[in-house]
Amino acid sequence: MQNYSKQVSSEHLYLALVSGKVQKRLFDIRAFLQAYSGIEDSDYAEYRDADNKFSGIWLRSTCRGPEHDLVIFYIPNLLLRCGMPYFYVEYLITLQSLLLVQGFHSPAVFIVDVSPGVDMDANELFMRIINAWSFIGQSHPNAKVIIAGDSFGATIALSLMILIACSRNSETGSSEAGNGETKDGENAKVTSTEDPSTEQESTTSPPAPAPPALPNMQRPFGALLISPLLVGHHEPKSALGEGRLAIWAQRSTEFFRNITLFGKDIEPNPMRVQNVEIWKEAAPEKGMIISHGASEDLQQNLENFTEMIAGIVHTKVVISESSPFLPPLYSFFTENIQDEKEDSAFVLSAIISRMALWHTHFYLHPGSHEPMNPLSIDDLHT
């Protein structure tokens, strides 16, 4: 199995099951055995930027044309050490196919490749995600772009929304997205809860290099967050335990701590951003969908964030009683009956349709597609 992933050590051979090459082959085999049922109009293709600034996988329907009216920008869970885009292809191509029957003309999903993150500096990795987001906005200006992710990928999506707001306000010279005034050419300042010791260290350390100019980034139309990992600045050990959550919490904290390319005035960790005005600037244009289990890790943090963000932007919360975490992915990979596997994807596609369809330019054409089975989405889904 080590032949399928250079990132797999002899001590953790089980991680090969989520490596890119293994997942790609498993998907092709399952799709063939199922006669491509439900995804016959969809296909996937790897994409790499000419300058190698980012890479990923496109999921789209070539029969509908290259101009997309909806693009889901998906950030995988970076903390899944071998997590590569192909781990998500089967579920997300199912979601993309269901969006076709929900009235969209040519929906697409772009999964950012964060697999180099194991050996890559946090600043470089974050910049790859930023470059990918900028590319989507520039290459598909008429599409409604929804930023999405699961677990720590959803946390990074929140961080990216904050950075987009800061870059937008730095261009306009606005100081609303920060705690202080914004000087010409500087990013807006984001306040956070800092330790006195941290502030003391910052006064004695040498001046940080000037942060690079952020590329042009559009505000997301919507957001789809699946069980975001919201680790506070000082999370009690009793809440983290000693298992997977404690390890992921440590890695997420280290990841944000190591991000320095934006300078000290921008706080990349969304759990340390306390200013509600910042979230008003960072919130997506139309709405946010948050899907999580009824007994999530750090459940209180998740509920507090949901309550806060719901007061800022329309927020639809989908809670699964049967899944402990990551409900859509959990049920998709554990259910045996195909209809039950696709249940969560069907629900999410319908919610996305209700949020975005009316705002797409294709839907206003006389020959546009109409959503199918509009009533069944209100059935009981557990």
Pairing of strands 55-60, 315-320: unpaired
Q: Domain check: are 172 and 71 in the same one?
A: yes
CB neighbours of residue 188 within 10 Å? 28
Give the separation between CA 242 and CA 91, rounded to whole angstroms. Answer: 30
CB neighbours of residue 354 within 10 Å? 16
**Residues of the chain under the 70 pLDDT cut:** 1-27, 30-40, 81-83, 116-119, 170-214, 232-244, 263, 373-382
pLDDT on residue 158:
96
Q: Domain check: are 40 and 17 in the same one?
A: no
Q: Domain check: are 159 and 21 in the same one?
A: no
Q: Is 107 helix (H, G, I), strand (E, B) or coil?
A: strand
Q: Domain check: are 293 and 356 in the same one?
A: yes
Q: Domain check: are 15 and 129 in the same one?
A: no
* CATH number where 371 lies: 3.40.50.1820
Q: Domain check: are 328 and 258 in the same one?
A: yes
Give the separation between CA 189 and CA 177, rounded to whole angstroms. Answer: 7
Q: Domain check: are 4 and 142 in the same one?
A: no
Give the separation between CA 112 and CA 249, rounded to whole angstroms. Answer: 22
Q: Domain check: are 197 and 271 in the same one?
A: yes
Q: Domain check: are 17 and 75 in the same one?
A: no
Q: Domain check: are 5 and 120 in the same one?
A: no
pLDDT on residue 197:
41
Q: Domain check: are 96 and 4 in the same one?
A: no
117 Cβ neighbours under 8 A, 6+ residues apart? 78, 125
Q: What predicted TM-score, i.e. pTM, was given to this entire model? A: 0.82
pLDDT on residue 275:
86
Give the separation between CA 50 and CA 90, rounded to whole angstroms. Answer: 26
pLDDT on residue 322:
73
Pairing of strands 55-60, 107-112: antiparallel
Q: Tell me how many domains the chain contains.
A: 2
Q: Domain check: are 135 and 175 in the same one?
A: yes
Domain interval for residue 185:
36-378
pLDDT tens-digit series, residues 28-78: 776 666 655 556 678 888 899 999 899 999 999 877 888 999 999 999 988
